[in-house]
Amino acid sequence: MNRVDYLRISLIDRCNFRCQYCLPEGAELDYILRQELLTHEEIMTLLKEVFIPLGFSKFRLTGGEPLLRPGIVDLVTDIASLPAIEDLSMTTNGFLLSSLAKDLYQAGLKRINVSLDSLNADTFKTIIGHKKADLWHQTWLGIQTAYEVGFDPLKLNVVVIPGVNETEIEALAALSINKNWHIRFIEFMPIGNAGLFSDRAWVPSEEIREKIRQKWGLIESNIKGNGPADVFKIPGAKGTLGFISQMSECFCDRCNRMRLSADGWLRPCLLNETGQIDLKKLLRNGIKTTEIKEKVAQLLVIKPDINYKQRDSGNDTGIYNRTMSQIGG
Ligand code: SAM
Ligand code: SF4
């Protein structure tokens, strides 16, 4: 059984982008009210008195868009200063990074993943659902700034969408050649945007690898991260290429993580709501953190069965109602 020591913390469900695969156009989402978000203090209490004592040592801040969270730099400072933190990272769309990267780095954030699905400003517009404004250049500046202030390696997340950015696989992979950038290709999952998901809505990782192999060759890398990516390298490249193949290869048996939503639900499996606990309610009802810790410990015990529930029910190609931005991707 895999040790579960990695928590993904969603800080906010709102976002300044509306990526086609995450926040479908026109969808009316019930955003979490501000007073329902876990507060800075509640997050710190949960980390100090529940998760760290249970052996969690790796934390990723995500959302929605985590950089929209008021007080983000102070929160990073406080989390980074906790003893027993082995790894503190963030996943962001990068739009606000050019002004925040330096402060985040100095606050103690050491690793960052930026989502970038295209190098073409027009394709980018289509993907992120802002037809008028050119947000690509600002995002690209954010990525460059993050690298310059010291986020090294820098990871870029690419969701490959057939017919949209499939032709850019080689150009995006090439970003790993001259700099220590890790490009991670993610298979699109049928979460949230049912309309986009058809028979050919995702590109299998092996198909992506084959394109890269044809152009440069591809070797397996022995670098392993916290996550489910299979890591490869273009021969002679400074950076790496990761492949996250949740659609073509189930990696539930390697799962080492839980997710905490912005309104305090602890979720043991991304694709499955079984067993989730409303930690905010427990905290706000005055339940002692020793008791909350006991409940989370029990959830850890049954997590392996929950991981497989979706698969076993034969529903693993179903469409899940909550979007990634709501769950905390
Ligand atoms: N807003 C931040 C960002 O975009 O990086 C953080 C939250 S976002 C939900 C986290 C990651 O989930 C992104 O890399 C995004 O590409 C990915 N994602 C969102 N919806 C997805 C889907 N349906 N399938 C696969 N990946 C998805
Ligand atoms: Fe926002 Fe990230 Fe979802 Fe795109 S993937 S809509 S940037 S939360």
62-116 pLDDT tens trace? 999 999 999 999 999 999 999 999 999 999 999 999 999 999 999 999 899 999 9
Sheet holding 230-233, edge to edge: 219-220, 230-233, 241-244, 181-187, 154-160, 111-115, 87-92, 58-62, 6-10, 257-260, 265-267, 277-278
pLDDT tier, 329 (very low <50, low <70, confident <90, very high otherwise): low
Residue 70 burial (CB < 10 Å; 0-12/13-18/19+)?
A: exposed
What is the rounded average pLDDT of the residues 21-43?
85
Q: Give, for ligand 1, the residue of 8, 22, 69, 160 to mutate: max count of ligand atoms closer than 8 Å to Cβ.
A: 22
Measured CA to CA in angstroms, residue 143 lies from 68, 113, 157, 216 at distances of: 17, 9, 12, 25
Helix orientation angle between 136-149 and 121-128, rounded to the nearest 10 degrees: 100
What is the rounded average pLDDT of the residues 171-197?
84
pLDDT digits (tens, 9 = 90+) for 287-307: 999 999 999 999 999 888 877
Among 226-230, 243-247, 270-274, the range of highest mean pLDDT: 243-247
Please provide the average confidence, as pLDDT, over all residues in the chain: 88
Q: Is 325 in the pocket of ligand 2 (CB under 6 A)?
A: yes
Residue nearest to atom 4 of ligand 2 (CA): 19
Indicate whether 247 pLDDT > 80.
no
From the CA of 60, the nearest ligand is: 1
pLDDT above 90 coverage of the chain, percent: 66
Residue 158 · residue 167 · CB < 8 Å: no
- What number does the ligand 2 atom closest to the CA of 93 have? 7
Residue 305's pLDDT is: 81
- What number does the ligand 1 atom closest to the CA of 115 have? 5
- Give the integer Cα–Cα distance in Å for 293 and 282: 11
Residue carrying the six token digits 């029990």: 298
Of the given ranges (15-19, 74-78, 195-199, 246-250), which has the lowest mean pLDDT? 195-199
Residue 275's pLDDT is: 86
- What number does the ligand 2 atom closest to the CA of 324 have? 3
Residue nearest to atom 8 of ligand 1 (CA): 329
**Taking CB atoms and a 6 Å cutoff, what residues make up the pocket around ligand 1?**
15, 21-22, 62-63, 65, 91-93, 115, 157, 159, 186, 188-189, 191-192, 324-325, 329
Measure 284 CA to ligand 2 centroid, in angstroms: 29
pLDDT tier, 327 (very low <50, low <70, confident <90, very high otherwise): low
pLDDT digits (tens, 9 = 90+) for 64-75: 999 999 999 999
What is the pTM for the complete model shown?
0.92
Domains of the chain: 6-327 (3.20.20.70)
Q: Give, for ligand 1, the residue of 135, 161, 186, 203 to mutate: max count of ligand atoms closer than 8 Å to Cβ.
A: 186
